[in-house]
Amino acid sequence: MRFILRRLGFYLIAFWVSITLNFLLPRFMPGDPVSRMFARTQDRMQPEQIEALRKLLGVDDRPIWEQYVGYLHNMVTGQMGVSISRFPTPVTEVIASQVGWTLLLGGTALVIAAVVGNLLGILAAWRRGGAIDSALPPLLIFIGSFPYFWLAMGALYLFGVTLGWFPIRHAFSDTIEPGFSWEFMSDVGMHLVLPALTIVLVSVGGWMLGMRNTMIATNAEDYITMAEAKGLRPGRIMFRYAARNAMLPSVTSFGMCLGFVVGGALLTEVVFAYPGVGYQLLNAVQGLDYPLMQGLFLTITAAVLLANFLVDILYVRLDPRVRAN
């Protein structure tokens, strides 16, 4: 319990630091949202309208510490304000309307990559020098070291455009009414295949290699030899004795990744025109949309910290040594 409380305190401080950075960083960037909007629309906006727009969007001219106090207050009370680039839509609404697709895509890809990667890692380490161990790691690392968007564009071109097996854009067909129907779900599934597949392909190698390496170390432990000497079934030794102990680093990185899923897979979303938050974040940064940026970063920070906290708790369950401390 003391452990958990201490961790909780640490997370609160980390949270404060990150929301403060979140506040400061965008304000170090030159310009303000209205001049950015003006620069982007170029000849389409009238100069006389700029002052009015500034007032309309509520561009803050208060001293920075006053803005900071107001910002902290809003963060604590959960008021994220109105998006500037999507004015007058509230930030919460902008995020809520898109974060679902991001979570679906990122979550599916992460779970598949982690499960498959870890299993392959376990098998590879268990049969060291076997077919899986010698062929897969170099192949997966080879694939994984391709620039991500190259792989995505390649898959899109080959499977989407040339072969026509999978749709080439969006999260579902425009012609289908969203709802809990089999037709809609399978359509979403089809649209998910290519983007998720490319993320899995790129990330699975890392999971496998990480697992394999810790597993090899664990395999050399005395308790494994002991278990073998006792004549336990190999499968039981592999999963219950070796893999369980080798899993801890994987659980940590799974937690980290889980948090970052919220930020969106920017390049995937851009290449496959997937309606997630990634492109919105890029837009917010480019348009100096402080409220939306803060909202998105806050969501990401909170998700990363929350996921880590959950992992910490899970650790207590998985690793008795943590409890002893």
Partner 1 sequence: MTQARFLRSARIAAAGLAIGALALTGCSANAGNTGSAKADASAKSALLTIPREDMGTFVRNFNPFAPTVTPMTQQAIYESLLVYNPANGDTTPWLASEWTAAEDGKSVTFTLREGVKWSDGQPLVPADVVTTFALQKKIKGGYDYLDTVTAEGTNQVKFSFKTAWSPALFDLGQLSILPDHVWSKIADPEKDPNEKPVGTGPYTEVDTFQAQSFVLKKNPNYWQPEKQKIAGIKMLAFAGNDGANLAAANGDVDWAPQYMPNIEKTFISKDPDHRKYWFPPTGSMINWQLNTTKAPFNDTDVRKALSMAVDREQVTKIGMSGYTKPADCTGLSGNYETWKNKEVQDNCEWTKLNVDEANKLLDKAGYAKGADGKRTLKDGKPFEFKISVGAASSDWLSVADVIAQNLAEVGVTAKVDSPDWAAVVAGYETGDFDSGIVWSANDPSPYKYFAGMMGTSTVKPVGEKAFENYHRFGDPKAEALLTEFAAAADEDKQHDIADKLQEEYSAVAPAIPLFAGPEWGAYNDTRFTGWPTEENPYATLSVRAPTTVLVLTSLEPRA
Of residues 48-77, those binding partner 1 (CB under 8 A): 48-53, 56-57
- Closer residue to partner 1, CB minimum distance, 24 or 313: 24
**26-34, 70-78, 137-145, 223-231 -> range binding partner 1 (CB under 8 A):** 26-34
- DSSP codes of every residue in 90-138: BHHHHHHHHHHHHHHHHHHHHHHHHHHHHHHHHHHHHTTTSHHHHHHHH
- Number of other residues whose CB lies within 10 A of the CB of residue 133: 18
Residue 177 amino acid letter: E
Backbone angles phi, psi at 90, to 5 degrees: -65, 145
Work out how close the CB of 167 gets to partner 1 at its nearest, in angstroms, rounded to a whole number. Answer: 10
Work out how close the CB of 292 gets to partner 1 at its nearest, in angstroms, rounded to a whole number. Answer: 11
Q: Which position has the token pair 């369950």?
A: 317
**71-79, 122-130, 170-178, 212-220 -> range binding partner 1 (CB under 8 A):** 170-178
Under a CB-based contact definition with an 8 Å cutoff, are residues 188 and 166 in contact? no
Measured CA to CA, the distance from residue 252 to residue 23 in angstroms comes to: 28
Show the CA angle centred on residue 260, arms to residues 16 and 23, nearest 5°: 35
Q: Is 28 in the site for partner 1 (CB under 8 A)?
A: yes
- Closer residue to partner 1, CB minimum distance, 87 or 309: 87
Show the CA angle centred on residue 50, arms to residues 49 and 52, nearest 5°: 70
Under a CB-based contact definition with an 8 Å cutoff, are residues 300 and 99 in contact? no
Residue 89 amino acid letter: T
Q: Is 102 in the site for partner 1 (CB under 8 A)?
A: no
Residue from 8, 12, 20, 46 in contact with partner 1 (CB under 8 A): 46
Q: Binding-site residue total for partner 1 (CB under 8 A)?
A: 72
- Closer residue to partner 1, CB minimum distance, 266 or 310: 266
- Closer residue to partner 1, CB minimum distance, 112 or 153: 153
Which of positions 228-287 make contact with partner 1 (CB under 8 A)?
A: 266-267, 269-273, 275-276, 278-283, 285-286
Work out how close the CB of 130 gets to partner 1 at its nearest, in angstroms, rounded to a whole number. Answer: 37
Q: Is 154 in the site for partner 1 (CB under 8 A)?
A: yes
- Closer residue to partner 1, CB minimum distance, 106 or 117: 106
- Closer residue to partner 1, CB minimum distance, 155 or 238: 155
Which of positions 181-220 make contact with partner 1 (CB under 8 A)?
A: none
- Closer residue to partner 1, CB minimum distance, 147 or 234: 147
Contacts of 19 (CB under 8 A, 6+ apart): 72, 75, 297, 298, 301
Adjacent-strand bridge partners of 90:
82
What does each C-alpha distance from 308 to 8, 10, 102, 104 come to in angstroms? Answer: 11, 11, 19, 20
Residue from 8, 9, 64, 89 in contact with partner 1 (CB under 8 A): 89
Measured CA to CA, the distance from residue 316 to residue 173 in angstroms comes to: 45
- Closer residue to partner 1, CB minimum distance, 85 or 219: 85
- Closer residue to partner 1, CB minimum distance, 80 or 267: 267
Tell me the two tokens of residue 237: 């030794």
Q: Is 157 in the site for partner 1 (CB under 8 A)?
A: yes
Q: Is 145 in the site for partner 1 (CB under 8 A)?
A: no
Residue from 62, 66, 139, 150 in contact with partner 1 (CB under 8 A): 150
**103-111, 172-180, 199-207, 304-312 -> range binding partner 1 (CB under 8 A):** 172-180
Measured CA to CA, the distance from residue 115 to residue 311 in angstroms comes to: 16
Q: Is 36 in the site for partner 1 (CB under 8 A)?
A: yes
Measured CA to CA, the distance from residue 202 to residue 281 in angstroms comes to: 22
Q: Is 304 in the site for partner 1 (CB under 8 A)?
A: no
